Structure 1
Amino acid sequence: MTTHYPGVTFALDGKTALVTGGASGIGQAIAIVAAEYGAAVGLVDLPSADFSATISAIEASGGRAIAAPADVTDPDSMAAAVRKIEDELGPLTLAVNAAGIANAAPAEDMELSMWKRLYDIDVTGVFISCQAEARAMLAHGEGSIVNIASMSGSIANRGLTQAHYNSAKAAVIHLSKSLAAEWATRGVRVNALSPGYTMTPMNSRPEVAEQVAVFASETPMQRTAQPEEMAGPAVFLLSPAASFLTGHDLVVDGGFTIW
């Protein structure tokens, strides 16, 4: 009997990964842990980003990482980033798309420019990233892409005026399912990972401390997540341990959406 099952392993040895938003927050945490599991990592973020902390952390644990500055809303920029990563690290077969922004405004007062900018980065940017990554992966006949969505793609958060963000993350979830359907027979898996409230730099600012305390109190586990707590689920989705998993939205929210 022929089997395609590679065995239960979370190892990423010999693989090359691309992580957008890799200079900070959830992207940074995932990049560092992916390297600890054996992947060489190409970090994609804006040219203005400081990649040094992520690269230093990866190199300190014996891993390899390079910076590949790019704008996820620019197809040519992302294509160039993929080429640079493949030229320096090897064939691309893993990707995590964590680049994104968040802000808030009441729906009736929201400027169209705010809506468009968030959609350009959080939805179109994810599509452009997936497109550039998949062109390489499909040529290699294998790949795993993880798109960072949010539990806000499945719920409307109490007390937050972010119709654009919620709907954009819902789009990322369904985009992931749609791409998974297109590429399933060609060796490329696509999944979404939806964090709950997480202590990224955006949520660590003193001016939002009271709001973050409310987020924690409304979560069954009575706390918010650390970015590193998204890294394990992401590595699982990337790894051979998830070889029969595609088109899935993995919600990592401390139980928030069970209430």
Structure 2
Amino acid sequence: MSSMLFARLTVVGRPASRFGAVKATSSYSTSAISRNGAASGSPIKQARTLPDFSMEGKVCLVTGAARGLGYEFCRAFLASGCTKLAVVDLKQSEAEDAAKELVATSCLNSDMGPSDFDVIGLECDVSSERSVIKAFGETVSKFGRVDSVVASAGIVENYSAFDYPFDRIKRLYDINVHGAFFTAREAARNMIPHGGGSITLVASMSANIVNIPQPQTPYNASKAAVKHMAASLAVEWAKKGVRVNALSPGYMLTKLTKTVLSHDQELKKTWESLTPMGRMGEPEDLAGAIVFLASDASRFMTGTEIRVDGGYCII
């Protein structure tokens, strides 16, 4: 289901949550349509939804958020009730443009307007500890705290092991591994004084399997490191109220992937044939998983990996 189709509904009789009361912000119409589809004189009764999945009142921060999966994670948070969000990416202009676009999209088919959202774009090079500290400092200065963080910034390259230039291997590890660590560490430092929070490190199914036919050993190893990093930090911070989990996507049809595969349809067919569900994932397929990990619905889950790969890793 597209993240734009998520509806945030008022729960009848629900008390205010720890982050405040829930408003009715469904993107669905309450026009007079009866259960069998015929017009009637009364509005549709809205079904109850589990309150713990709501992101309302939470301050969220996502790295690598100007495009790709990071952007989709932001959409999912906003569609699930978040109104305070830091969109973090390498270039300030791209982060700000993404923030504006996210607000505009969130207002479509909704009773909320731009003034109901406080979404900021921040420049950050996650491979730089100083840059990550600065981004978190600006976020906390703006919102007072941070509740849910997703470390989504990452890169992938395909070189054979003998041909992989060292400077590019170092860059990949600086972003994928060190960047995830810096992000998680600053998130925890800011969460612990406020009672904790949720950190999701974006790993990959490549943390568990070896992709074929493309050679990508450093990438696979980097994502295995991220997966184990999540488990290790989860143990270290468990009693401090900070949960750390890993989300591992399979082959996803992001804009970048679509561009690559447009010149190599045989590779696309290979990936699809190796996936039990017979298709690649859409970025929206990750919306439910990321909201689950970031919300109170997963309050007793830490150190866990959720794979969303169409069954790739089970065969």
1:153 equivalent in alignment to 2:207:
yes
1:44–1:70 contact (8 Å) kept in structure 2: yes
Q: Larger C-alpha radius of gyration, 1 or 2? A: 2
Unaligned runs of 5+ in 1: 1-5
Which residue of structure 2 lines up, in the alignment, with residue 3 of structure 1?
none
Question: Distance in 2 between the 1:36 and 1:210 partners?
Answer: 36
* Equivalent in the alignment of 1:44: 88
Q: Distance in 1 between matches of 2:105 and 2:218?
A: 39
Aligned to 1:58: 103
Q: Which residue of 2 aligns with 1:223?
A: 279
Aligned residue in 1 for 2:241? 187
- Cα deviation 1:47-66 (Å, max 9, x = unaligned): 26623245323344244311
State TM-score, norm by structure 1.
0.93
CA shift in 2, pair 1:237/1:244, >3 Å = same
Letter in 1 for 2:275: T
Q: Secondary structure at the match of 2:69?
A: helix
Deviation string 1:32-60 (CA, Å, 9 cap, x unpaired) is: 11111122210110126623245323344
Residue 122 of structure 1 deviates from its aligned partner by 0.3
Structure 1 Cα separation of the partners of residues 73 and 170 of structure 2: 28
2:148 match: 94
Residue of structure 2 equivalent to 1:120: 174
| Aligned residue in 1 for 2:312 | 256
* Secondary structure at the counterpart of residue 27 of structure 1: helix
Are 2:177 and 1:132 aligned? no
Q: Measure, in 1, the Cα distance between the counterparts of 2:126 and 2:158.
A: 22
Counterpart residue identity of residue 170, structure 1: A
Q: Which amino acid aligns with 1:247?
A: G
Structure 1 Cα separation of the partners of residues 199 and 224 of structure 2 = 17
**Does 2:58 match 1:15?**
yes
CA 42–48 in structure 1, closer or farther in 2 if over 3 Å, else same: closer
| Comparing 157-166 and 199-208, the one that deviates more | 199-208
Aligned length: 254
In the alignment, which of 239, 254, 257 is matched to residue 295 of structure 2?
239
- 8 Å CA contact 1:199, 1:225 repeated in 2: yes
Residue 221 of structure 1, CA deviation: 1.0
**Distance in 2 between the 1:49 and 1:151 partners?**
31
2:252 to 198, 201, 221: 198
* Aligned counterparts of 2:311 and 2:144: Cα–Cα separation in 1: 38
If asked which structure has higher relative contact order (CA below 8 Å, sep 6+), I would say 1
Report if aligned partners of 2:157, 2:219 keep a CA contact under 8 Å in 1.
Answer: yes
Secondary structure of the residue that 1:214 maps to in structure 2?
helix
* Superposition deviation, residue 208 in structure 1: 3.7
Q: Counterparts of 2:164 and 2:79 in 1: how far apart (Å)?
A: 42
* RMSD across aligned positions (CA): 1.6
> Partner of 1:41: helix, strand, or coil?
strand
Q: Would you say 1:106 and 2:174 are equivalent positions? A: no
TM-score, scaled relative to structure 2: 0.77
Between the aligned partners of 1:49 and 1:231, the Cα distance in structure 2 is 25
Identity of aligned residues (%): 39
| More displaced stretch, 238-247 vs 225-234 | 225-234
Give the whole-Å Cα distance in 1 for the aligned partners of 2:160 and 2:71.
Answer: 31
Q: Which amino acid aligns with 1:200?
A: T
Check whether the contact 1:36–1:58 (CA below 8 A) recurs between aligned residues.
Answer: no
CA drift at 1:216: 1.4
